[in-house]
Amino acid sequence: MFTRHFRLYLTVALLSAILMTFQSARGPFKPFAFFARGINNINNTITLTFSSIAGTMRAIGQDMDDMARTRAEIRDLKLRLMDHNELKKENMRLREMLAFKISEPRQVAVAKVISRSALTWSSSMMIDMGTSDGVKKDMAVITPDGLVGKILDARLYYSVVLLITDSRFSAAVRLHGTREDAVLTGDGSGGCVIKYLNRGYHVNEGDTVLTSGLDALFPNGIPAARVIATSGTEKELFHTVEAMPLAGLDTLEEVIVVER
């Protein structure tokens, strides 16, 4: 019995001595060191990967911010260019108006167009000059290109202009070439009609129509419209003549009010 216990004790002591010798030579025994190294390697790889992704995302975010700023700057430059072009066009128009004003002694006021009629049957617009500026009812409204219409209603600080395309408008006119007298009215659809033009006179497309002054309303010699078509039969007493205003009524921004 003693011998068996002694042998067991001796075996344990021998194993302890071997383990102590192994630990002395290799260091402390760490059975999970292999797994720890693997986990550390995986952790380092994940950390490096996430750091790389985060750096890439920051770079992308920076690029997007730079792109947004660049787009905003481009929009700002486009707006500035548009403003510059508008100012340039306005400057050219005002210079043209000034030159025309110097040669037009009957000028009363230079006015801005502030609104247009939205009704299809009404051809009128509103300007920012009124009786306080010397504007009166029935005064002619013109541009350097030609006749626009007449003052339909003059208030203290604004006026309503009846355009030559309105069916209520009429003016005494004559053909520039033949000097034949007639009456110009609006057709209510953006154009004009020349009435009472004697068929004995030849009318060509492109002929210019001027105010004659015979109606004691409009000054003499203002270009009004251009002939675009003629029709009718030889048996009819008068020509049927269609015309278009010389002034671009749809794009007007400034006009001149003149007295007779």
CA atoms within 13 A on the CB side of 153: 5
Give the CATH superfamily of 107-258.
Answer: Rod shape-determining protein MreC, domain 1 (2.40.10.340)
Average pLDDT for 93-101: 59
Dump the DSSP string for 171-182.
Answer: EEEEETTT--EE
Q: What angle do CA 247, 250, 252 make, to 5 degrees?
A: 65
State how far the alpha carbon of 141 is from the alpha carbons of 62, 124, 159, 164, in Å: 59, 12, 11, 10
Does residue 32 surpass a pLDDT of 80? Answer: no
What pLDDT shows up at residue 201? 76
pLDDT tier at 43, thresholds 50, 70, 90: low
Return d(Cα 219, Cα 140) in angstroms, integer.
Answer: 8
- pLDDT winner (highest mean) among 30-39, 40-49, 93-102: 40-49
Percentage with pLDDT > 90 across the chain: 35
Return the C-alpha torsion angle 116, 118, 121, 124, nearest 10.
-10
What is the residue extent of each domain of the chain? 34-103, 107-258
pLDDT averaged over every residue in the chain: 79
What pLDDT shows up at residue 48? 73
Q: Which helix (H) or strand (E) holds 51?
A: helix 33-103
Say if residues 123 and 188 touch (Cβ distance below 8 Å): yes
Does residue 141 surpass a pLDDT of 90? Answer: yes
pTM, two decimals, is 0.61
Does residue 34 surpass a pLDDT of 70? Answer: no
How far, in whole angstroms, is CA 39 from its chain's centroid?
64
Return d(Cα 159, Cα 135) in angstroms, integer.
Answer: 8
Range name among 73-82, 87-96, 160-169, 188-197 with the lowest pLDDT average = 87-96
